A and B are shown apart, each in its own frame.
Chain A
Amino acid sequence: MSEAPSAPGDWQAWLSENGPRLRLIARHWARSDADADDILQEALIRYWRHQRHLPGEPNALVVTSIRRAALDLGRQSDRRLRREQAVAADADLVGWFEPPADERHAFLAKAVQELPPEQREVVVLHQWGGLTFEQVGEQIGISPNTAASRWRYALQNLKKTLGPVLS
């Protein structure tokens, strides 16, 4: 992740570069697009105002901030979320990505959606969050080896699903 801007007016370029993948991470932990937007805003403001001077890699700190904002929002709107759970379960993961260029990409996006949640979490954090397995493990409270295993299982599952398309 590029350094966060130090002067006002530079945020637009920084958000164009990093915003989509950070929103994807937020969306993974949110129940709706609107919640993901709120989570991303809260996390970026929290990081910028209070955490950017903390030691550690900025990318991992931003992802941590997103996770905490998602947890906070989850606690605040637990009752509402329970009512929306059925609707949220049908959320279309394909909408998380740019419109697929071809059928192969559309299948891939759908296959990612159908991964078990614990594998999908690792895929999102590692692939689009840019975190190492060690950082992924710290984020979700598992060992780096477990994170790496889930990544491998996810790839195998995707291969199983996409085999005919890839070939």
Chain B
Amino acid sequence: MSEDTREIEAALGSLRPRRLPAGLEARLTAALETPEPARRPRVIPFLAWGGLAAAACFAVMLALPDDAVAPTGAEPMIMAAQADSPPPMLRSATPPLAAARAAKSAAAAAAEPELRLVRAEQSAPEATLLEPVRLSDGLFARPVRVRWHNTAHFRDTRSGAELIRHAPHDEVIGLVPFETD
């Protein structure tokens, strides 16, 4: 490095970068001293991955036929095998199948609610007498239409959810003989 370049280096060292504008310094200070905002939980990816995982498990369970999961006579064979010397293939294959069967039955049980009838209500019947008609045998009869509403309240004992089954306008049409003298 020559003397001249040393002089250039010294001259460069004497150049001072411009000071921060007051506004920028205040802005930076405020930004740096502001606490980091709490991260919001990432709900959508969680739901997406959870849904995918659940769908995959469900598809696997549906794909498992009952007889494949629990072949007929498999359990007595296992019992016999445990009593004696166990066939290694049967031993190694059985636990996953049993686990899959248990998971499948658990999922099925969880999917089916246990409904208990809480109460049932029936409205007062509403009878409407219609115009008399003449039957094929020459007699006269009066059609009667009876209407009522049924409401049944069920409760799922597992989830506590309440189910209301409302059947409006159940009706029966009958004929009341029309006696004539």
Contact = CB atoms under 8 A, between A and B. Distances in A.
B5 A156 contact: yes
In terms of DSSP, what is the predominant structure of the interface of chain A? helix
Interface in B165-181: none
B11 interface: yes
Interface string B1-32: 10011011101111111111000110111011
Q: Tell me if B's interface is mostly helix, strand, loop or mixed.
A: helix
Interface in A25-73: 37, 40-41, 44-45, 48-49
B29 A15 contact: yes
Given A108-B11, A159-B4, A49 B24 contact: no
A109 B32 contact: no
B27 A41 contact: yes
Interface residues of A, number: 39
B84 interface: no
Contacts of B36: 49
A24 interface: yes
B112 interface: no
Interface in A137-167: 152, 155-156, 158-159, 162-163, 166
B8 A44 contact: no
Interface residues of B, number: 25
A18 B89 CA distance: 72
A123 B12 contact: yes
Contact of A11 (B17, B18, B29): B29
A23 B7 contact: no
Contacts of B20: 15-16, 19-20, 23
Contacts of A12: 25, 29
Given A11-B33, A20-B16, A166-B11, 19 more contacts: A8-B33, A9-B33, A11-B28, A16-B19, A16-B25, A19-B19, A19-B25, A19-B28, A20-B17, A24-B18, A44-B28, A44-B31, A97-B17, A98-B19, A105-B15, A159-B4, A159-B5, A162-B11, A166-B4
Please give me the 8 A-B residue pairs with the lowest Cβ-Cβ distance, nearest first.
Answer: A20-B17, A24-B17, A155-B5, A19-B20, A98-B16, A8-B33, A11-B29, A21-B17
Interface of B: 1, 4-5, 7-9, 11-20, 24-25, 27-29, 31-33, 36
